[in-house]
Structure formats: structure tokens, C-alpha cells
Amino acid sequence: MSNSTQIKSRKEEHVNIALNENVTVKGVSNGFEDFHVVPTAVPDLDFNDIDLSTEFLGVKFQAPILVAGMTGGYPRAEKINKSLARVCSKLGIPMGIGSQRAMITNKETLSTFNVKEEIPDVYLIGNLGLVQFSANFGMSELEEAIENVHADAMAIHVNPFQELCQPEGDLDWKGAWKNFEKITKHSKVPIIAKEVGSGIAYEEAMKFESLGASAIDVGGAGGTSWPKIELIRNDREDALSLDDPTLRWGINTALATFEATSKVQIPVISTGGMYNGISAAKAIALGSTLVGIARPVLQALVDGG
């Protein structure tokens, strides 16, 4: 199986598993139950005057919601991403796409990412993995990822735990910080540092900021577990079991949000287990600019359009 075919197959497996399997980890929550909103008995305002619009990276959106990047790189993903783009365009909120590595290695998959061809006004966040720049990606691949989908910003995702659990995972992260700095200096669009489910501690949030990140998506624990998804795919005898306590690894979304918003000046996105409005409200109250939602949106799209 060629590398591009392998990536395409993996992307489709990811979505199918996310939709049909239990991909959360028992005993791990997003942590927002530990934070409480103090109620106001006398609000002294007209609720009709409440404005949910927000500004992110110099652009005004109608609500502090981001449809986080999920997929791309296989035939079904084109319909999913374009459907999501139409929704985001109508609602006036930004959306992300899944890792564009598949697009770089197989040009035929471009249409599964390039939603702006049909929905040009959607604010689109592209996506590449930082570990790829320790292997064979350089600034030309970054430019290709941005220009071919007309990305308004780029998420550079970090996912070492997922890679460790992935059967064909990339394990060489040497030089990753230097590569991130090169990316931010070279990019023509804002760069968002993004975890995918293990959270970003405040020390690394501060380092991302110092190296030129325009925003941070904390991608905390408590929602979809990508390591668990990889283990469901993994049939190696030495793979972790699905109930191994190691899968509880990570910083929950609430704590990662609290740490990041306390330490950095750039916008923070809270993604990870954001299943209801009260969690979103708490994240905003803690200082997040946007709340990222992924699997619940995908599930709703597949179930009911």
C-alpha cells in the first residue's frame, strides 16, 4: 500500500470510528464541572441586548464558536467539509479542516479540503502536523497547504500521544520547536498552535506565544480520544488495551484553558469535550475567545443534515 493510499484509508477509518465507537475515556472529563458560574440574582440588563459576536484574529464572528478541524483526504470527506462550510458561512463562524498531509502527498484529494471553491466567504483554518516538519515537510509544503485552500489561518497541530498509539505513527519530534518558529516567521497567515486531546500546559503555551503563535487551541482531555481511536485501529500485540489507565493521560480542557488564559496575551481556543452551552460559557468566562466543537457537529451532520 502506498503512503498516500495508507493516509487516505486512515482518514476514513478515523471518521468511521469516531461516529460508531465509544471514543471517550472512562473517568476523564473536560473538567468544567470543577468550575462554577456565580449566578446573578439581579442582572440589571435587557437580555435582548446580549451580543454573542466576537473578534478573533482581527475578524468579527457572529458567535464564539469554531467548528474544529476533523477530516479530509478521502472521497466522503468532500461532502462533509463542504456541508460544514455552508453551515459555518450561514452562521458567521469559522471552521477548520483536517490534516492536509493527505493533500500534500496526494494532489487528487485537494477537492476534499478546498471548500472555498464553492463557499468562498467561510473563514477557513488549514491544518498541518508539526511532526511532519521534522520529517520531510518544509516551507514549500506550508505554502501549498495555505494557498491551495485559500486558508485564512493555519493550525499547526501537536499530537505526540496520538502518534505513539498510531500503528504507523511518526515518532521523531527532534527540532520541533525550531520548526515551529520557522513556520510562524515564514507564514503569510496567522498560525494557531493546536493540541488534539492531551492539552497544552502553561509553560508550552507561553513558549508557543514567544515563538510567534497568533493563537492557541488548548485541545484538552475530556472529549474524543485520538489515542483511543488509534488503538481501536491498532492490532499489534504490544498495543495498549482500551482500558489501560495510560489513556487518561493529559490536561483536561478546563485546566488547560485556565492556565493558558492566565499566562498568554494571544487568543485562546477551548476545544475538547465541549458538549453543552454551560461548558462553553465557562470557557468564555475563563478568558477563551472561541470554543471549538468537533465530533458533536459531525454526528449531528451525519444524523440529520
Q: Which is it for the CA torsion 107, 113, 118, 121, positive or negative?
A: negative
Q: What is the pLDDT of residue 5?
A: 60
Task: Classify strands 54-56 and 59-61 as parallel, antiparallel or unpaired.
Answer: antiparallel
The single-letter DSSP state of residue 37 is P
Q: CATH assignment of 3-304, given 3.60.21.10, 1.10.3720.10, 3.40.50.300, 3.20.20.70? A: 3.20.20.70
Nearest 5°: the CA angle 285, 288, 292 is 115
- The string of pLDDT tens digits covering residues 81-111 is 999 999 999 999 999 999 999 999 999 999 9
What are residue 54's DSSP bridge partners? 61
Give 44's strand partners: none
Distance CA 37, CA 29 (A): 18
What is the DSSP pairing of strand 124-129 with strand 215-217?
A: unpaired
Q: Is 145 helix (H, G, I), strand (E, B) or coil?
A: helix
Residues with Cβ within 8 Å of 258's Cβ and at least 6 positions away in sequence, in order, are: 35, 286
Among 52-66, 134-148, 186-200, 234-248, the least confident range? 234-248
Per-residue model confidence as pLDDT tens digits over 33-63: 999 999 999 999 999 999 999 999 999 999 9
User: How many angstroms separate the CA atoms of 243 and 240, rounded?
Assistant: 8
Q: What is the per-residue DSSP string for 261-288?
A: HHH-SS-EEEESS--SHHHHHHHHHTT-
pLDDT value, residue 3: 61
Give the model confidence (pLDDT) of 131-171 as tens digits: 999 999 999 999 999 999 999 999 999 999 999 999 889 99
Q: Give the phi and the psi of residue 192 in degrees, each rounded to 5.
A: -110, 120
> What is the structure's pLDDT at 8?
59
Q: Which residues contact 132 (CB under 8 A, 6 or more apart)?
A: 101, 141, 170
* Model pLDDT for residues 13-32, shown as the tens digit of each residue: 888 998 899 999 999 999 99
Q: Is the dihedral of CA 129, 83, 57, 197 positive or negative?
A: negative
> Quick one: pLDDT band at residue 4, thresholds 50, 70, 90?
low
Taking the C-alpha atoms of residue 119 and residue 198, their distance in angstroms, rounded to an integer, is 32
The answer to whether 169 touches 192, Cβ cutoff 8 Å, is no
